[in-house]
Structure 1
Amino acid sequence: MSKTWFITGTSAGLGRLLTERLLARGDRVAATVRRLDALDDLAATYGDRLWVAKLDVTDTAAVRTVTDRAFADLGRIDVIVSNAGYGVLGAAEEACDEQIRHVIDTNLVGSISLIRAAIPHLRNQRGGRVLQISSEGGQIAYPGFSLYHAAKWGIEGFVEAMAKELQPFGITLTLVEPGPTATHFKAGVVRPSRMAVYDGTPADDVRRSIDSGAFAVTGDAGKVVDRMIEMIDAGATPLRLTLGASAFDGIHAALRQRLAALEAQKDIAYSVERDR
């Protein structure tokens, strides 16, 4: 049975690829873009199965308006995909206040706004799915990507809590956590002005690794999209969907390290309990 999807950030990358594959198999897609002509080729091929709206997710009022209009025009929407986002590469000190606010407004506040806008509609139709595109960077952290991680770790906490809040209404949420994947992500990365004091530091090492191509990007974007679609088709509802060897291995190692550090502090943690 065909489904109807609402996807943000469909001009390129995973959002574009997901839109293409869903349309090709007969689903309907409500796609948001920042340039209305970005999907003209798909509109010419798929006609009214593609609904397109211009949206900058940093505009909270517009997020609600566009979401309301999509449900009004299309009726039931089965899957919401919060995909719009980008990265900032550089030490936190190098970024200006505007860069900090914009990446948080896009990756974190924009995602929160979309999910909140969709909730009344999903509740009224007695169910639905929300896929929040996160990354391995929602559970591990690289120097030089602190602002990106701040947003991704933030949205992971939000979604985990929301999943519990919305469970009584038949609404399920999944955090999709790909590792480094061959998309156009690098082209959209914002780079603050470099500070010489960070030359040769871990943040600079990561930057140089990415620029030189030494940073391994092994994920296949097509396979990432396929696994997402297969999960929805199967009716599976994991809180997290980890995709890629790098993501699995990196998150696995980070969780083991955090658990070991926590267990080493058990006596200290228990020592602050009130005397009974």
Structure 2
Amino acid sequence: MTQTWFITGTSSGFGRIITEKLLARGDLVAATLRKADALDDLKARYGDQLWVATLDVTDTPAVHAVIDRAFADLGRIDVVVNNAGYALCGAAEELESDAIRRQIDTNLIGSIEVIRAALPHLRAQDGGRILQVSSEGGQIAYPNFSLYHASKWGIEGFVESVSQEVASFGIEIALIEPGPARTAFGGGIVNAAPMEVYATTPAGQIRAGIAAGSFEIIGDPAKMAQAIIDCTDRATLPKRLALGSSSYAAIGAVLHGRLAELEANKAVTLSTDIDA
């Protein structure tokens, strides 16, 4: 069945690939992006099947205006894909305050405002679905990515709560958690100026390994994009969908460790209740 989608961050990476796949199968796509001409080739090929608007998700009034206009122009929108984002990398001490704010404004507040802007429209049409692109980094953490993780852990907590608030309106929200993939996301990485004192620390070792190409990236972006699309064919959206074997292994190891630590401290935890 043909569906109508609203997708942020469509100039490259998952946003672009998902848009291409949806158009090829005949769906209608409302695509937003910061680079105004990045989808000109798709617009020329698909015409009115592709609705395009420029949008920087850090501009909250623009987020609400663009989403209002998309629903007004297209009528019903079945799926909102909240995809725009990037990664700020560096040890916490190395990061500039302005860069920190930009990361949170984009990945966390920008994502929150897209969801908030879509909810009234989804309620009015008696339901719909939101796919929030998070990351394996929404459940685990690596050195050198502290602010990126803060944004992803933050949006995961927001979605966990909001999904409960809106379920009775027929609105479902899924957290999509890809592991590393061979996309153009590398262009969406901003690196802080390194401090020599961190060169031999875990943060420095991680960035040295990235620079040297030491970490094998095995995630297939086309397969991941298709899995994101396919999850909307389910009767009920998954609350979380991890993508890639590395994501499965990393998230699984962290969750098992977290449960083990919870049990190891059980006696102390239970002892802090008020005495009967």
Partner of 1:6: 6
Partner of 1:62: 62
Partner of 2:176: 176
Unaligned runs of 5+ in 2: none
What SS is found at the alignment partner of 1:177?
strand
Percent identical among aligned pairs is 60
One-letter code aligned to 1:255:
L
What SS is found at the alignment partner of 2:62?
helix
- TM-score, normalised to structure 2, is 0.99
One-letter code aligned to 1:57:
V
Partner of 1:272: 272
Inter-partner Cα distance in structure 1 for 2:34 and 2:143: 30
Partner of 2:28: 28
Partner of 1:239: 239
Inter-partner Cα distance in structure 2 for 1:79 and 1:224: 17
2:143 matches 1:143: yes
Inter-partner Cα distance in structure 2 for 1:184 and 1:215: 16
Alignment map for 1:12-51 (pairs within 5 Å):
12-51=12-51
Partner of 2:84: 84
Between 1:104-113 and 1:232-241, the stretch displaced more is 232-241
Unaligned runs of 5+ in 1: none
Inter-partner Cα distance in structure 1 for 2:82 and 2:235: 19
Inter-partner Cα distance in structure 2 for 1:235 and 1:99: 41
The 4+ residue runs of structure 1 with deviation greater than 4 A are none
Inter-partner Cα distance in structure 2 for 1:48 and 1:133: 26
One-letter code aligned to 1:104:
I
Deviation string 1:106-132 (CA, Å, 9 cap, x unpaired) is 000000000000000000100100000
Q: Say what the alpha-carbon RMSD is for the aligned residues.
A: 0.7
Partner of 2:256: 256
Deviation string 1:213-253 (CA, Å, 9 cap, x unpaired) is 11121100000011111111233411001110000010000
Alignment map for 1:152-171 (pairs within 5 Å):
152-171=152-171
Deviation string 1:128-154 (CA, Å, 9 cap, x unpaired) is 000000010000111000000000000
Alignment map for 1:74-223 (pairs within 5 Å):
74-223=74-223
Inter-partner Cα distance in structure 2 for 1:169 and 1:236: 14
Partner of 2:53: 53
- TM-score, normalised to structure 1, is 0.99
